[in-house]
Amino acid sequence: MNDDLPDDLDFTGRELRILSAVGYYGPSETFHASVIYEASGDILDDAIFERNSSIMDRFGITITENALPYPEALSQIRASISAGDDAYDIVSLVDRDALSLANEGMIYYMDEVPYIDFDKPY
């Protein structure tokens, strides 16, 4: 499947910063982005590592993750945005918390982010 992204899309070494919530006690106990920094022999971890390595090479970025306990992650992102701090590019939170932040204008709705095409079968 073609992603339709420009061939010359290059972020020249920019860091893609992810904030993840871990330890949520619900149907899934983590909203952790699973940034894997090296191959380990585990099939899933190695697939994530290979995917991230491919993305970093293709777009000229590095991916980092700050995984904080839930609800500390929500407090951290709310304080960061309120202070005008540009600390994170992606936030992985519980759906109701992400919706609250979006309704408050603190984060973007996914359909407002460039290059995301909801008509694609991903």
Q: Which domain holds residue 56?
A: 14-109
- 41 in a structural domain: yes
79 occurs within a structural domain: yes
Residue 14: the pLDDT is: 96
Domain count, the chain: 1
User: What local confidence, expressed as pLDDT, does residue 99 receive?
Assistant: 86
Let me know if residue 116 belongs to a domain.
Answer: no
**The tokens 């603190």 sit on which residue?**
106
Answer whether residue 4 is part of any domain: no
Strands (E), the chain: 14-22, 30-31, 61-69, 90-92
> What pLDDT is stored for residue 107 in this prediction?
87
Asked if the structure places residue 121 within a domain, the reply is no
Which residues of the chain register pLDDT less than 70?
Answer: 24-33
Q: Does 32 map to a domain?
A: yes
The model's pTM is 0.81
Residue 18 maps to a domain: yes
Residue 99 lies in a domain: yes
- Length in residues, the chain: 122
